[in-house]
Amino acid sequence: MKKIVLLQLLVVALLVSCTYAGKDPDQAVMKAYELRMDGKVDAAKVMLDSILLAHPQNAKAHYEKARVLSYMMNASKEVKIGDVLESVNLAIDNDPGNVSYVYFKAVMSFLDAYISMQMSQGEIPEKVKAACEEFENVLKLKPDYYDARLYLVDIYGLLPPEMGGDSAKAAEYADLLEDANTYYGAKARSILSPEDMDYVKFWEELMAKNNQDPRYMMEAGKACLYAEEPDRAAEYFAQAMELDPAYNILLLDMMRYYLYSVMGSQDQKETALPLAKKYGEKYLASQPDPIVPLKAYTIGWISRFEKFLGNEEASQQMTEKAKALDPYFSRATGLPSMLDFIPPDEVCYCYMTFFGPF
């Protein structure tokens, strides 16, 4: 039955791509993006491949294919980071001035370096250097792309010198951010501050001066999570969501906090897992309605909470529900990258550190 459904999806993708590719390939790319956002990842890839057969120099199609492959890496061992980089390089070759493509490549390049770090592979300094050069290329195209500069602070400031870290460069980039933007400057300083600094106080003081900007409530809440004060974090997250309901994704940070607490100590299983489940369910019921990939991700984790709590039948039902929504939903504890979800014709202003859970 599953094979029949997949075949039907692929046929639909081919029919749609044939309808659009000959007339307006960019419009067809948007249709492929919509398919993926609806959980039909295989169909989206088939459609993009058919577009590229007819329009091999269409940069947007190469970019969207790179993002499809990036997303597929969450669940498929067959897709590698090299496949993602190959596709985004083709996008840049055909549209070198598109800052979104260059930014995506920069983040994926550092992901390549990060994977090498996790696997203790060689060439880490070379890969880090290459990623930093890509972030510099972003800034050449768009000097006020603060997220790109923040990644440079993160990489140079938190990596040891033997892996490509450079504290002097990190401080230089932080100074530039402080001069340019209050929020990003504060983020940069928090990254470079000593571990014994009171980060909660740091963000609370800034929040008091910027009480209509939900980013400061978000940061104060995350600082509370690191300080193991989840109730206080939940209050700040609620304030952020009151100002902007789109911050409902912070409910997943609460879910993951309780997940990590169990991973750190099995003694907390009976108390923490029900709370993790509660916040996952709260996110699913929140508005604006979560996108399908994040719905499936959340349901996938709830299924595991049920299993750990001994509810095998409920766990199996939730697993099947997640797979039905999106077979490629991320199984990682970290949140999926927002880079994969922004429409392909929009610039993504999103930064997610590689060096911490929140």
Alpha helices in the chain (DSSP H): 2-21, 25-37, 41-54, 59-72, 81-94, 99-118, 124-141, 146-158, 167-180, 182-192, 199-209, 214-226, 230-243, 250-264, 269-284, 292-308, 312-325
State both tokens at 259.
């997940």
Residue 123 to residue 115: CA distance in whole angstroms: 11
Residue 116 to residue 209: CA distance in whole angstroms: 41
Tell me the Cα Rg of the chain: 21
Q: What is the pLDDT of residue 23?
A: 66
Q: What is the per-residue pLDDT across 259-272, written as a single tens digit (0 to 9) for each?
A: 999 998 888 889 99
Residue 321 to residue 307: CA distance in whole angstroms: 15
Question: Tens of pLDDT along the chain (358 residues)?
Answer: 455 445 555 555 555 555 554 568 999 999 999 999 999 999 999 999 999 999 999 999 999 999 999 999 989 889 999 999 999 999 999 999 999 999 999 999 999 999 999 998 889 999 999 999 999 999 999 999 999 999 999 999 999 999 999 999 999 999 999 999 999 999 999 999 999 999 999 999 999 999 999 999 999 999 999 999 999 999 999 999 999 999 999 999 999 999 999 998 888 889 999 999 999 999 999 999 999 999 999 999 999 999 999 999 999 999 999 999 999 999 999 999 999 999 999 999 999 999 999 9
Q: What is the DSSP letter of 291?
A: P
- Residue 288, preceding bond cis, omega within 30 degrees? yes
Contact criterion met (CB below 8 Å) for 341 and 293:
yes
In the chain, the domains with their CATH numbers are: 1-96 (1.25.40), 98-192 (1.25.40)
Q: The dihedral of CA 157, 158, 162, 164: what is its sign?
A: negative
CA-angle at 205, arms to 199 and 207, nearest 5°: 100
- CB half-sphere exposure, 94, CA atoms < 13 A: 15
End-to-end CA distance of the chain: 40
- Distances in Å between the Cα of 9 and the Cα atoms of 38, 50, 337 are 12, 14, 25
Helices 59-72 and 25-37: angle between axes, nearest 10 degrees: 10
Q: What is the pLDDT of residue 219?
A: 98
Q: What is the pLDDT of residue 265?
A: 83
The residue to which tokens 């049920």 are assigned: 306
Q: What is the pLDDT of residue 1?
A: 46
Q: What is the per-residue pLDDT across 270-321, written as a single tens digit (0 to 9) for each?
A: 999 999 999 999 999 999 999 999 999 999 999 999 999 999 999 999 999 9
- The closest alpha carbon to 67, from 302, 322, 293, 318, belongs to 293
State both tokens at 56.
């091999």
Q: What is the pLDDT of residue 16?
A: 55
Helices 199-209 and 182-192: angle between axes, nearest 10 degrees: 170
